Amino acid sequence: MKDTDAFEKMEHDGWTDPATAQGYADGFDLATKLVAKRLAEEVLAGPNVDVLDLCTGHGVVARELLERQANVTGLDFSPAMIALARQAAPGATFVQGDAMAMTFADNSFDAVTIGFGVPHFPDPEQGLREVARVLKPGGRIAFSIWRGKASKGAFGWLFDAIGRLGDPTVTLPPGPDAHLLADINIAEPMLVKTGFTGIKLSDVASQLWVQGPEALFSAFDEGAVRAAALLGAQSEERREAIRADLAARVWSEGTKVESGFLVPAPSVLLSAVKV
């Protein structure tokens, strides 16, 4: 049994659940759309460019690539996500598969985009090496990572609230740090090692839209597998304390708009070129 077996099962069971897939699509849609435009720009998506959208999720990046007239193939292990992606981007080709062991031939694509998918690789280095394999020489990769602990936004607020108000005995199965590659000092050596050059990191001021202050808790609880595992294992009293804490942050640091609130959810975008 591998060290990451329990992590992989948690991810698989979570993301293949149609309710979780829809929860992610509902709760994180705005942020993924904002980042999708940047991903498409970084890989120079356009006519006659063959792009693999890896961990395609609910199809937001695939749709953006199609709008730029690229030839798009989306891959995800979750049938529930692929069903949503087909609705969002009907002009793309979607494949259910394993990002860690893809069935595509070597040198198949001009570009690869990954919208917040790298944190779900059980072995990020192996996953990036597999991306390099299917990219043509000179092909481009662009992927996004949420800012995590201590960041000034939704994920930072969540970790802070769980740290102060949650049950300290509740932990996740061993797996990669979801926010590890938001650090260029870690990301760059890994990308170089797996066959990339010209590595760049840029910050993205992504945002979540929530209908009301308490909806931020629901976004994590219903549409983010690791966060949901941490929140679901809390007592009801602790859950309510975390919910109230997040709601207070939305009131004080979010932006009230006519339809709800905009909540900062900073992320980074990394791009590179295959050697």
Q: How far is 268 from 201, CA to CA, in rounded Å? A: 7
| Rounded Cα distance, 157 and 155, in Å | 5
Q: Stretch 132-159: mean pLDDT, rounded?
A: 96
pLDDT in tens, 194-220: 999 999 999 999 999 999 999 999 999
| Residue 114 reports pLDDT greater than 80 | yes
Domain ranges of the chain: 5-274
Asked if residue 65 has pLDDT above 60, the reply is yes
Contact 274, 138 (CB under 8 A): yes
Is the predicted pLDDT of residue 88 greater than 90, yes or no? yes
Q: Grade residue 72 by pLDDT with cuts at 50, 70 and 90.
A: very high
On whether the CB atoms of residues 97 and 103 are closer than 8 A, the answer is yes
pLDDT > 90: percent of the chain = 96
Tell me how crowded residue 119 is: count the other CB atoms within 10 A of its CB.
23
d(CA 213, CA 253): 11
According to DSSP, the residues that pair with 203 across neighbouring strands are: 268
- CATH (one of 3.60.9.10, 3.30.390.10, 3.40.50.150, 1.10.3720.10) for 5-274: 3.40.50.150
Tens of pLDDT along 184-195?
999 999 999 999
What average pLDDT does range 254-260 have in this prediction? Answer: 94
CA 47 to chain CA centroid, nearest Å: 26
Q: Using alpha carbons only, what angle is made at residue 209 by residues 207 and 211, rounded to the nearest 5 degrees?
A: 160
The whole-angstrom separation of Cα 179 and Cα 171 is 16
Residue with tokens 């590659």: 181
Residue 252: helix, strand or coil by DSSP? Answer: helix
Supply the pLDDT for residue 4: 86
Looking at residue 242, its pLDDT comes to 98
pLDDT at position 245 is 98
pLDDT score, position 2: 60
Q: Which residues contact 233 (CB under 8 A, 6 or more apart)?
A: 167, 170
- Examine the pLDDT at 141 and tell me if it is beyond 50: yes
pLDDT at 146 over 70: yes
Tokens of 95: 């494949």
Strands 93-96 and 196-204: unpaired
pLDDT of the residue at 1: 42
Residue pLDDT, tens place only, 153-163? 999 999 999 99
Strands 50-54 and 109-114: parallel
| Percentage of the chain modeled with pLDDT above 70 | 99
Q: How confident is the model at residue 3, as a pLDDT?
A: 82
How confident is the model over 244-258, as a mean pLDDT?
97
Q: What is the mean pLDDT of the chain?
A: 96
pLDDT at residue 126, rounded to an integer: 95
Each residue's pLDDT tens digit, 7-56:
999 999 999 999 999 999 999 999 999 999 999 999 999 999 999 999 99
Nearest CA to 114 among 184, 156, 62?
A: 62
Hey, which bits of 117-246 come out as E strands? 135-146, 196-204, 207-210
Checking if the pLDDT of 250 tops 50, the result is yes
- Residue from 176, 157, 139, 76 nearest 271 by CA: 139
